[in-house]
Each structure stands twice: as C-alpha cells, then as structure tokens.
Chains A and B, each alone.
Chain A
Amino acid sequence: MILTIAFRELKTLFLSPLAWSILAVLQLLLAYLFLTQIETFVSFQGRLANIDNAPGLTDIIVTPLFANASIILLLVTPLLTMRLVCEERRNKTLTLLLSAPLSSMEIILGKYLGILGLLMLIILLICLMPLSLLVGGELDYGKFICNIVALSLLVAAFSSLGLYLSCIASHPTIAAIGSFGLLLLLWILDWTAGVSGKSSEVFHYLSMLKHFQSIQSGLINTVDISYFLLFISTFLILSILRLENDRIQK
C-alpha cells in the first residue's frame, strides 16, 4: 500500500516537466563542477606525484563533487517536497487518501518514499560521473561508498523536513521557503563554533554539515548515522501526527 502511493507520487513527478527539468539542470550543473574538479586534478597531478601519501583521485574529485551536490540538493529538495501534502490538501485530493482504508503512517511513508525515489535517482546519476573515471584511473571504493551513504542520508533528512513543512503549510511556496530556511539554518549552524565557547557544542551537534562531512571523510560513526536517522524519524513522526491532527481540527 505504501508502495502504491510512492509509485503514484513518482509517476506524477515524471508526468509533469518538474522532475525532468530538475534532473536535467542538476546534471548539467554537476557535470560542469565535475569537469572543473578534473581540471584541478590534472593541473596538480605532476606535483602530487612528488608527495608521500598524497590525496588521490577520490579525494580531489569525488568528495568535492558530493559536497557541491549536497548544497545544490539543499536548494532543490524544498522545491520537490513542497507539493507533497500541501497541494493534495489544496486540490482536495487528500480526501481520497483519508477516506481510503489507510493509516496516516502509510500515507506519509508512501509520500516520503516516492520523493526519496526521485532523489535516489538523482544520486545515482551523480554517481555515474565518478564511475566514468574508471576508464583511465582508479577509485577508492570505500570513500566513494561513504560519499554515497553520506549524500543519501543527507537527502533523506532534507526530504523528511520538507515533507513535514508541506504538512503544515497552507501554500506550497510557504512550505518551500520554510524548509529551505530551516535546512540552511541547520547547515550553517556550526559557523558560530569559533565565536562562542562551550554553548556551541549543541550547535556543533545539530549542524548537518558536520555530520555530513564526517561520513564523507570515510568515517562511519554511529553518532553521525544516528543523527540522521533520528532527524528523519522525528520529522516523519511529526508529519504523521500532523496529518492525524487534520481530522481533529480542520
């Protein structure tokens, strides 16, 4: 049942130009960034050969590529998630789901998996770029996979927050602005780290960027993984509660 909703969500995305254009634009931007990273690598290559333990292909090309992708997805995810529940409510199609024999959990998870499907497709396309390097070089697969895991968790966290805001907001644009603002705040939260003393530790923990970079560096740490899992489940549960609340208040 969850998958039925998820598939319809995906189908709708691909029936409108939205998904296609996002895929195209993202691919174009990232391909350009990928190219500049390769150029950097080529220009450094001679000097790298002289250094012991020099950063490899993966460090110089893949990690920055995924870091760039994370920022671009920070901008794009709110646009994708804004319609999820909000538009259904505006078009009154939510009634169909609410009067069908489904629990709120199934509805929310279905919507979430649907949007996650598209985002995973985007990540898959991003992965193809580093894989093309295999033609002439070698990748550090451990780090490569860590990068994929980091980006997937990050994107899953982005979309759970976006989904929640879509449940709250009365208009898709408000949902988009709200989730973009919140995500950006969580992203830059640890910039205060240098300014104040001890209080910044909380900020440090809350900052998404820190956890993302930590996994990206090849360090799979339970702190980081559980941060993301907690983040995702918190917002999913909040969304479910919010949908239940709809029936009570309206």
Chain B
Amino acid sequence: MTSLLIEANNLSRYYGNHCAVDDISFTLAKGEVLGFLGPNGAGKTSTMQMLCGNLAPSSGQIKINGFDLLDSPQQAKQCLGYLPDTPPLYKELTVNEFLEYCAKLHKVSFREISNSIASAKSRCGLSDVAERLITNLSKGYQQRVGIAQAILHSPEVIVLDEPTVGLDPIQIKEIRSLIKDLGSEHGIILSTHILSEVQESCSHVQIINQGKLVFNESINNLNQRMNTSTIKVVTRKAINLDLLSNINGIISIELIDAASQYLIHHSTDINPTEQLAEIIVNSGCGLLELSPTKKSIEDIFIGLTTNKQADV
C-alpha cells in the first residue's frame, strides 16, 4: 500500500469552453497539511469538488488512499471527510441528530457511533449546543458543525474548503489549532484566500491561478523565498537613483510615494544596507528612514499570480 493519501494526476476540468482547472497534479502524504491558495475563481473549489467526487474531472485521475475515485468510489469516499464552502447542514435537525445521520451515512459501525460523535463534538467545541437545532446556531457554530461532520468518521483525508470564513478571531484561532492537531494523524487539504492562514497552519502550500498550479512548495521553502529582502528607504529629497543601482547586490528599486519613498529589493546573500546608508547620507538627501521589510506571503502571492497573468 502506498503511503500517499491523495494522488492527483493531470486533473483538468472544463465548464463548456471555460477551463477552470488546467492540468493540476499533486500529492498529499499523511501528516501533511496542504494549503490551497488562489484568488477568487482560481479553481480551488472545483479542484476540491473533484477530489471529493462531487464533480467528475474532464481528464486526469484521482487516487485516495490507493483507491481510484472513479473505479471504486465507495472505498475512496470512505477515506474522505469534506467540508464544502457552504456547510451542508440539515437545519431542522439538532446537532446530535445531524451528526448521527452523518455517521450512519459514512458507515460508522453502530457501536462506535456515539463515541465518534462525542469526540467530534468535543474537538469542535460543540458539546454545549448538542441539543440545539442547527438553524438556531450562529454562523460560527454552524461552521463548526460542518467541520465536525467532516472529521466524524476519522477519515484519512480531510478536505476543508475555506474553513475559517465567517468566524470571529477567537474561533479562527481555535479552528487553526484544531487543524494543526488533526494534521498530525490525518492528511488535510484546506483552501483559503487568506494567506496568513496558510503560514500558520499548513506544512505545504500550493498556489493556483486561473486553473494552473503556479507554486507548490513546503512552507519552509516558501518562508525562505520570502527572505529576498526588501529595504524601505524614506528621504527628504529625491535621490539620484543611478548612485544606488551601482551598489552590489541590489536587484531593483521601486518608487512608492512621489519621490521620497523607495523600496529597494536585494538578494539575501549580500546585505547592502551599510553601503546604502553611507551613499544616501553622503549625497545629502536627508535620510529619514531605513528599515528592512520582510516580504509577506501576500507579496509572493501577488507576484506569482500577476506574473502569470502577464505571461498569458
């Protein structure tokens, strides 16, 4: 048996002529939390729907825990827990009734039903509202019921589509720690367009744009990449840019505000800060600020996605 929980090969999906997902391949192993990032309409949800058997791929193959999703869908889906972008809740049922129904649907054996419901409830903090009707719960709690439903049968693979949407900051924190917690025993895929979420809870990152996979690395590599540092310089008078661009290690200079603020991008190997300060002070432009800025994941994201658009 292979240790890979998900193998997706060359997935494509067309809606009419529109290509929503274009030739995506990736894998997920146990203990990994894979973050799916992308702007709206990038194909995140389509990809997740394909993984969960809600949508047939136009071409490509999906294997879940070694079972092909098309050849043996029932075994494959048995290993899946899925929280779609809108949690699928029967609002006229109570939390307990709903979870019991889900447990039965996922063929949890009769004896284990109450155990699995109890553990899912305590993990998602639902024990206090167990007897309430889902329709009367707040959106945050409904989202938690959705998550509880996905982890109920302790599936090998958990797929969460934007799990923290609509939650307050405390709940988001709780959900993130829950995801981390679950990540140790399961394989998790989560999609989001909030980048800090990926930094916090994922071990791997994939960025999708316009249906194409533009970035697929572990989170450590991503953080390293982000260290292509940038220095922010603020001066009183405009600087002669030629002076600066001669400095060793500087890649590019970006004007951000009129003529007084600059972003200076340089490689991580050489730190030109000292030289930079010296030149600016000597030129008499009046150095007001010189600060290293850490490139956020947002920058990488925007860089990657807009570059791709420019190519197209």
Contact = CB atoms under 8 A, between A and B. Distances in A.
B88 A4 contact: no
Interface string A85-117: 000000111111111111100000000000000
A99 B52 contact: yes
Contacts of B88: 91-96
Most chain B Cβ neighbours within 10 Å, of A93, A95, A97: A95
Given A102-B74, A247-B53, A96 B105 contact: yes
Given A1-B105, A101-B74, A101-B78, A96 B149 contact: yes
A247 to B, nearest CB: 5
Interface stretch (A8-16, A50-58, A227-235): A8-16
B30 interface: no
B104 interface: yes
A11 B84 CA distance: 24
A87 to B, nearest CB: 10
A86 B185 CA distance: 37
Contacts of B105: 1, 4-5, 96-97, 100-102
Chain B interface residue bracket vs A: 20 to 34
Contacts of A11: 93, 97
B141 interface: no
A250 B55 contact: yes
B75 interface: yes
Contacts of A250: 15, 55
Contacts of A195: none
Interface string B75-88: 10110101010101
A3 to B, nearest CB: 9
Interface in B192-207: none
A98 B76 CA distance: 12
B89 A93 contact: yes
Interface string A215-228: 00000000000000
Contacts of A16: 92
Contacts of B147: none
A248 B57 CA distance: 8
A92 B106 contact: no
B309 interface: no
Nearest to B52: A99
Contacts of A92: 84, 86, 88
Contact of A248 (B56, B90, B102, B149): B56
Interface string A39-58: 00000000000000000000
B215 interface: no
Given A95-B82, A96-B149, A99-B82, A4 B53 contact: no
Nearest to B84: A95
Interface string B258-288: 0000000000000000000000000000000
A109 B84 CA distance: 24
B236 interface: no
B132 interface: no
Interface string A114-136: 00000000000000000000000
